[in-house]
Amino acid sequence: MRTLHKGLRPLYAPLLHPKHTVRIRSPLSISCGAPRRSFQTSASYRTIDLAYDLHDNGGKATGAPILILHGLFGSKKNNRSISKALARDLSRPVYAIDLRNHGDSAHDKAHNYIALAEDTEAFLEKHDLRDATLIGHSMGAKTVMTMALRNPDCCANIIPVDNAPVDAALSSDFPNYVEGMRKVENEKVNSQKAADEILEPFAKELPVRQFLLTNLTRPSPSEPLKFRIPVQILAKALDDMADFPFTDPDIRRFNKPALFMRGSRSHYVSDETIPIIGRFFPRFELMDIDAGHWVISENPEAFRRGVVEFLQDKE
């Protein structure tokens, strides 16, 4: 699992740190999105005070903190089980975060990686969290990469899960999910079953629908069900979620350890992205996990082992 394929050395070796290891899959092309919009990588947004759950193994976890950031349409609840396991195995407190416009955190019209990074940096400062490990899946992965490149001193290392520091079109599934959620709200349903039936044409897989429907709440007993996430805001943010705010690794670079974990059945971290990962994050390692894009929920044990091994190596 941790041997560099010799056939890649002429192409990748100049860009890789000696500790980088990768098991190669069949090459997949990067799906490029629309022409880049202008990102203000130093912009300052109104920061959101992020909701969180702290998992500290009953107070026994006292090491350096770990932050775990969910993906688009997710919440801190998605990472409850894995957070408890990591707190136990590593004896480190794990903060499961709700990013802006998700879970119990406040809503705001600005939803891009600079805003998400600034929120999380403010969270680290507010809670006086030093030498943190930042773990993020999908949207959360690009957020922790953005934080590491903006301010390398904000963390000790990062673990981006199934995303890469490139502009690449989101899976066409995500606009479908948004359309389905809009239809659920427009129909003013009163039951999860009714919502699931409306959503099914837009999200064929039951686990995906169950994931999306975790956001469905009833504001009051007399009102129909409604998504707690601001569907309209996130619909408008899909292009920003496909982008990455940094383009020049000669200007921005993170020279601390980074573990990139990718699903072996996902296209989000294709082999073609490896060189640019190596330039932005020269001390990176790459681990394949038998999963699709939803790595943590699809194969939590392999994910847990990979994180524990990586972080124990760094102690």
User: Is 293 assigned a catalytic role?
Assistant: yes
Q: What is the 3-class SS of 7-36, one letter each residue?
A: HHHHHHHHHCCCCCCCCCCCCCCCCCCCCC
Concerning whether 138 is annotated as a catalytic residue, the answer is yes
Going from the C-alpha of 276 to that of each of 14, 23, 165, 248, the distances in angstroms are 12, 17, 7, 9
Using the Cα atoms of residue 260, residue 264, residue 268 and residue 269 in order, give the sign of their dihedral: positive
Name which of 100, 98, 94 is nearest 114 in CA terms.
100
Cβ–Cβ < 8 Å for 249, 277: no
Class of residue 217 by CB neighbours under 10 A (exposed 0-12, middle 13-18, buried 19+): exposed
**Which one is catalytic: 138, 266, 270, 297?**
138
Q: Say if residues 283 and 256 touch (Cβ distance below 8 Å).
A: yes
| Both structure tokens of 211 | 């994931």
| Separation of alpha carbons 133 and 131, rounded Å | 7
How far from each other are the two terminal CA atoms of the chain, in whole angstroms? 21
**Residues with active-site annotation:** 138, 293
